[in-house]
Amino acid sequence: MHTPLRTLNPVQSIRTLWSSRSLLRELVIRDVALRYKGSVLGYFWAILTPLITLAIFTYVFSVVLRARWPGMPEQDSHLGFALAAFCGMVGFQAFSEPVGRSATLITSNPNFVKKIVFPLEALPLMTACSAAVLAVLNLITLLAVTWLVTGRIPVTVVAWPLVILPALLLGLGVAWFVAALGVYLRDLGQLIGPLLQMLYLLTPVLYPLSAVPEAVRWLVGANPLTVVAEGSRAVLVAGQWPDWSMLATALLVSVCVAQLGYAWFVTTKWGFADVV
C-alpha cells in the first residue's frame, strides 16, 4: 500500500521510477517514432517544423510588425526577433507538450489500465521525456540557424539543459495531476487546450519580460516558465548566463510540483480500472 507520506518522499519516488527505466526507454522510443511514423518525410519533419515556425515568426514579427527585441544583438537581420521568440517557445513547449497530452493520456490507453500490469505513472513521464527529445531537436535546428546567420554559437549554451529543466519538471508534475484528474473529469480534455494557450500568451515567450508593465511584472516573473523563457534567450541568443537565483527558485518550485503531482497520481491510480 502507498501511504500518502511515502508517495511524498522524493527518494522513494525516484527509486520507483528508476526501477521502470528500461520500460520507459522503450515507451519514449515508441512515442517519438510514432510522431513521424508513416509520414513521407519521416524524421526530416523534426528539422522542418522548427524551420517553418522560424519562417513564420520572421515574417509576422520582423516583416509585418517590424518588431524589435530590446537588448538583442543581430537586430539588423530579420531573424533576430524570430530567434528570440523561438528560444522562449522551445522552453514553453517543454511544459505544454506533456500537459496538453495528459488529460486524455490514461483514457486513451485503456489496455494499459485494465489488461496488463503496467506502471501507469510511466505514461506522463513518457510524454515529458518525449518533450525533452523534441526540445533537443529544436535546439539543434536553432543552433544551426544561429550559426549560419551569425557565424558563432555562444558558449553559454552549455547552461541550457539546466535552464529548460524547470519547464520539464513543472510540465511533468502538472501532467501527472491532470492525467489522473482527467480520468474522472473528462471535461479537462476540452479545457486544457484553451488554458495552455492563455498561459502561452501570458508567459513572456513572444515578448520580453521588460515589456510587461511594472505593476504586474512581479506576477509574471513569479511564473517559473518566465524564468525558462528568459533564461533560454539569455544562454542561446544573448550569450549571457541565466539569473542563477531565479533559476534555483524555479527549479525548487518545479521539483515540488512534480513531487506533488506524482503523489496525487499514485494515490488515485487505483481507481482508474473502475472508471476507464
Partner 1 sequence: MSSSTHHEGAGDVLVDVRGISKVFRTYRSPADRLKQYLARGMGLGGRSRFDEFCALQDVSFEVRRGDAVGLIGRNGSGKSTLLQIIAGVMRPTAGTVQTRGRVAALLELGSGFNPEFTGRENLALHATLVGIDRDELKECLPAIEAFADIGEFIDRPLKTYSSGMIVRLAFAVHAQLRPDVLIVDEALAVGDAAFQIKCMTHLRRLLDRGVCVLLVTHDPNTVRSFCSRAIWLDHGRIRESGDPRSVTVNYCRVLYSGEMSDAAGSAVPPAAPVESIATTQSLAEARAGEPGHALSSEASRAPSLSDRDGLTRWGSGEIVLLAAGLFRVATGEQLGVVPLGERVRLVLRVAMRSPVRPSRWGLGFAIRDSKGLAVVSHVTLATHTELPQLGVGQELIAAFEFDNHLAPGTYSLAAVAEQMIGAERLYFDFVENAVIFQSLSPFAGFSLTLPPVVQEFLVVESSRSSDAAEPASGGQ
| Sites of contact with partner 1 (CB under 8 A) | 22-23, 25-27, 29-30, 33-34, 37-38, 111-118, 181, 183-187, 270-271, 273-275
Q: How far is the CB of 67 from partner 1 (least distance, A)?
A: 41
- The grid coordinates of residue 231 equal 533564461
Indicate the burial class of 88 (C-beta count within 10 angstroms; 0-12, 13-18, 19 or more): buried
Q: How far is the CB of 186 from partner 1 (least distance, A)?
A: 6
Q: How far is the CB of 40 from partner 1 (least distance, A)?
A: 15
Residue 234 in contact with residue 146, Cβ under 8 Å? no
Closest CB to partner 1 among residues 67, 191: 191
Closest CB to partner 1 among residues 38, 194: 38
Sequence-ordered alpha helix ranges (H) in the chain: 4-7, 10-19, 21-36, 45-57, 79-102, 110-114, 122-150, 160-184, 188-202, 214-221, 224-233, 244-268, 272-275
Q: What is the 3-state secondary structure (H, E, C) of 185-203?
A: CCCHHHHHHHHHHHHHHHC
Q: How far is the CB of 33 from partner 1 (least distance, A)?
A: 8
- The grid coordinates of residue 36 equal 513521424
Q: How far is the CB of 199 from partner 1 (least distance, A)?
A: 24
Closest CB to partner 1 among residues 118, 241: 118
Closest CB to partner 1 among residues 128, 238: 128
Closest CB to partner 1 among residues 4, 10: 4
